[in-house]
Amino acid sequence: MSSLFAVRSSAGPSRDLSRGTREQDWWDEHAAFIDALVADGFIALGGPFPDEGGAMIVVRAESEADVRDRLASDPWYVHEILRLETIQRWELFIDELHR
- Asked if residue 99 belongs to a domain, the reply is no
* Torsion angle defined by CA atoms of residues 82, 9, 32 and 2, in that order, rounded to the nearest 10 degrees: 150
pLDDT at 39: 98
- Asked if residue 24 belongs to a domain, the reply is yes
Residue 32 CB-density burial (10 A; 0-12 exposed, 13-18 middle, 19+ buried): exposed
pLDDT at 38: 98
pLDDT at 82: 98
- Asked if residue 53 belongs to a domain, the reply is yes
- Asked if residue 97 belongs to a domain, the reply is no
Mean pLDDT by 10 residues, the chain (99 residues): 95 96 97 98 96 96 98 98 98 84
Of the candidates 5, 16, 18, the one whose C-alpha atom is nearest the C-alpha of residue 90 is 5
Determine contact, residues 57/35, Cβ cutoff 8 Å: no
The model's pTM is 0.93
Task: Give the strand order in the sheet containing 3-11.
Answer: 43-49, 54-61, 3-11, 82-90
Helical ranges in the chain per DSSP H: 27-39, 64-71, 75-78
The total number of structural domains in the chain stands at: 1
What range does the domain containing 57 cover?
3-92
pLDDT at 36: 98
Residue 60: CATH number of its domain = 3.30.70.1060
pLDDT at 94: 86
